[in-house]
Structure 1
């Protein structure tokens, strides 16, 4: 190394007079180190070496059934979807390098929004670069300082972050508790701006919201309603429009938020609405204005997938069959589940604690089955869950294989 060239000082461990900004994460660091110190594989850093289909991948050199991908309708390998992406990549290049309000709106972005408007039968559609940004942007822009956001205590992180960014007053209520929600609504000052935020399907337990009753209460108090249908779009409802459609209240919802990273099979987020002033959001919503738009290949795959989902009734029926079969099979084996009956494509298997949950996860992956290990504080009531998400492309034979692997692993770990 040449003399006379100043070299940056090496980072030093914090001493008594220096604050360690990582200290807030010490509990999580200890939890992770505790799991890994037992020689276990890191359940939060699995590498898929090769993806073979919507339901199979090579993990740790072994062919593995995928039961934790949110690929509900199996669109990731649809030939038409893939071909649309290839063509857009060839015609428009790899990216837009700009925001939607500058140079980042290509023909594909408009076609994707057209597909969403047609899918939902609504007047307006706005595509974001991620589903997280859709919630962050819409909620923070609509509900600002002095307004009130009424939301379920188990709402997704993107919903909470949207509330924080907008600086509205947050009014949480007990999960799926209609009476608790109504009590909170009655305490809000008369004349205040109110946004009620609900989810069609809650991603941890896979349970659905009583939207019909909750939307009625919201409207009685003069509130606008936003429903996040990320985990129901494409699957639930006669046309796959989500729980609001299934419960007959879609026409009473002011804003529907969704994502392309579940049933649509790619990445991105969106909001659809019938509000006559909605288009102004394109100029005032910061996560939309100040983010580069989705690559042309992504919006092309999304638009193609959305249009195919309009005619996905057979796939939806098969996915419901898979969900009922797996739910009943796991319950009959003696596992404790998050719902009494299957309410969505998510089935949560409740573990006694994190240590046994990690052991069970490892036993499953070693036997060729991948699920999600979900832990506190992300889970309700500090539960440890093995979260299973079914796919319309899972065959009946694969569902039986899944049950056999759960039985073998559960007995080996001592869960059942």
Structure 2
């Protein structure tokens, strides 16, 4: 009897469509937008990219803390005193003095009772969401939520209920359909990273509380510069005291790497024993947590930098609108300005033209972007000078005309 051998399906076949898009893009002669190399970083706003002196407008380094002398010195001292890494989880040997110090800095920054630091911002969302909302609970979230939020929902096995982006009425309708007595978590973002638009948190949090839900707000893209003290959109809209959990990251305004959650919930500390992405991950290196703590404490007194960053955002937004570019928001709402491209091919051509001008921005494409859009995403920095912003506007004008976008 002969055996029939069935050929196994190629496990990579699910990616064939994406592979084809990438191959077609590269075949057109465009530089690979996702393989940019920074050979040397000169400052928070300049680097040598693919051999060119380039203005950086796509780094999320909102407050320009990566080259702050005090931040760098704190990292050097920690590296010398504590070594290069902890080689352990926070619940074993991975809690050093610096980990406590950065959590203390976060509690002071937000005025909250508890702070828990993760090795990345992605893990902060993954860990907190998956742990607090389980199989019998419901998570109601904005359809444009970050991938880490969606993955946290999936990992926790809660019932997922998405609603239309920034739609208060849709949020309320979803909440009212949830069975009485069920655990409910509403997940929102302060600033949505693709278009740079902000959430109507004041109205949404009221709806959530009126319907018995807890609220988690991801302030990754607003911490440091939005709000009087840089605490984010919830602070700016006067509702920070009504938020149960604030998620954030060190890889944006803080200028290093890591994630965190702050909360006033009286039972929050149990999370250190039950949150798997926290318990089973090696803790951040001492040099990282010391740089983060120093940066966070300096951000408490960064009012002048916040004001300059807002001015940069207003000037660039108006300059690009006046040139005829289609932007993600009608008014500047954050440090992110999204320039909407007609399609991926012309978006990639525009990205390359800007790179040849000496400007780096992010090329963002589906499925990461909402509504199938191709975007050139600009993220401003408090260290960009007024002269650099005018230079950037000129670069966009020349590249846009060369590619036929404007």
In the TM superposition, residue 16 of structure 1 has moved relative to its aligned partner by 6.9
Matching residue within 236, 253, 265 for 1:263: 253
Output the aligned Cα RMSD: 0.7
Residue in structure 1 matched with residue 157 of structure 2 by the alignment: 167
Residue in structure 2 matched with residue 294 of structure 1 by the alignment: 284
Residue in structure 1 matched with residue 334 of structure 2 by the alignment: 344
Matching residue within 340, 349, 362 for 1:372: 362
Residue in structure 1 matched with residue 212 of structure 2 by the alignment: 222
TM-score, with normalisation over the residues of structure 1? 0.96
Residue in structure 2 matched with residue 306 of structure 1 by the alignment: 296
1:93 maps to 2:83: yes
Task: Could you list the structure 1 runs, at least 4 aligned residues long, displaced by more than 2 angstroms after superposition.
Answer: none
1:111 maps to 2:101: yes
Residue in structure 1 matched with residue 378 of structure 2 by the alignment: 388
Residue in structure 1 matched with residue 30 of structure 2 by the alignment: 40
Identify unmatched segments of 5+ residues in structure 2: none
Aligned equivalents of 2:190, 2:154: Cα separation in 1:
22
1:360 maps to 2:347: no
Aligned equivalents of 1:306, 1:286: Cα separation in 2:
26
Aligned equivalents of 2:16, 2:391: Cα separation in 1:
39
Aligned equivalents of 1:56, 1:198: Cα separation in 2:
33
In the TM superposition, residue 39 of structure 1 has moved relative to its aligned partner by 1.6
Aligned equivalents of 2:345, 2:96: Cα separation in 1:
49
Deviations 1:250-309 (Å, cap 9, x if unpaired)?
Answer: 000000000000000000000000000000000000000000000000000000000000
Aligned equivalents of 2:115, 2:49: Cα separation in 1:
38
Matching residue within 386, 392, 397 for 2:387: 397
1:237 maps to 2:227: yes
Residue in structure 1 matched with residue 265 of structure 2 by the alignment: 275
TM-score, with normalisation over the residues of structure 2? 0.99
Residue in structure 2 matched with residue 321 of structure 1 by the alignment: 311
| 3-state SS, counterpart of residue 398 of structure 2 | helix
| 3-state SS, counterpart of residue 88 of structure 2 | coil
Matching residue within 394, 398, 401 for 1:408: 398
Residue in structure 2 matched with residue 334 of structure 1 by the alignment: 324
| 3-state SS, counterpart of residue 295 of structure 2 | helix
**Residues paired across the two proteins, number:** 402
Identify unmatched segments of 5+ residues in structure 1: 1-14
In the TM superposition, residue 354 of structure 1 has moved relative to its aligned partner by 0.2
Deviations 1:296-330 (Å, cap 9, x if unpaired)?
Answer: 00000000000000000000000000000000000
Matching residue within 108, 119, 128 for 1:129: 119
In the TM superposition, residue 18 of structure 1 has moved relative to its aligned partner by 2.1
Matching residue within 183, 187, 200 for 1:210: 200
Aligned equivalents of 1:63, 1:122: Cα separation in 2:
43
Aligned equivalents of 2:6, 2:184: Cα separation in 1:
47
Aligned equivalents of 2:229, 2:368: Cα separation in 1:
31
